[in-house]
Amino acid sequence: MSRPNVYEGEFPIAREELGVRGRPVGRPAGARELGASVYELAPGASGWNLHAHYGNEELFVVLSGEPTLRTADGEQPLRTGDVVACPRGREGMHTIANRSEQPALVLAVSTANSPDVVIYPESGTIGVATRHPFEPVPEGGDEGVVGAFRAEDNQRKAPPR
């Protein structure tokens, strides 16, 4: 088992358009039922789109900086040491941005359940993942489903009369 450090290491996950870089720490530490990653949010980072998970609960710990938590109820400034829990479903809708002029470092821990369905209400999108979306599929492994769909295409319609 390796012993990753939340303050050291490369960031193999990069979403430059969002101002976010990430590094998995849970699996490298030997976790099997928990996911954990460290995310660095650049100054001015928008972060991920506002979303809610239906398969996973998430917990965020601010390791450094002053990011902003946005939920369906509005925004709240966060500071180093703050802990935020986001339960499954719409009640846990969230995103974390960085409106400050200094980088922010956030530890994200989740229940790592699969499959997961994620709603993105602002873009009208639904994400579906039957496997970890950032890990490569082993040779001969099940590719599963990892994709995003327009919510309007997934609405159940009444049968014709």
List the helix and strand counts (H, then E) for the chain.
0, 13
Q: Cα–Cα distance between 56 and 152 in angstroms, integer?
A: 23
Q: 2.60.120.10, 3.40.190.10, 3.30.420.40, 2.40.50.100: which CATH number matches 13-113?
A: 2.60.120.10
Query: What predicted TM-score, i.e. pTM, was given to this entire model?
Result: 0.87
Nearest to 21 by CA among 93, 105, 77: 105
- The predicted-structure confidence for 16-70, as pLDDT tens digits, reads as follows 999 999 999 999 999 999 999 999 999 999 999 999 999 999 999 999 999 999 9
pLDDT at residue 159 is higher than 60: no
For the stretch 67-110, pLDDT in tens is 999 999 999 999 999 999 999 999 999 999 999 999 999 999 99
**Cα–Cα distance, 39 to 62 (Å, whole number):** 10
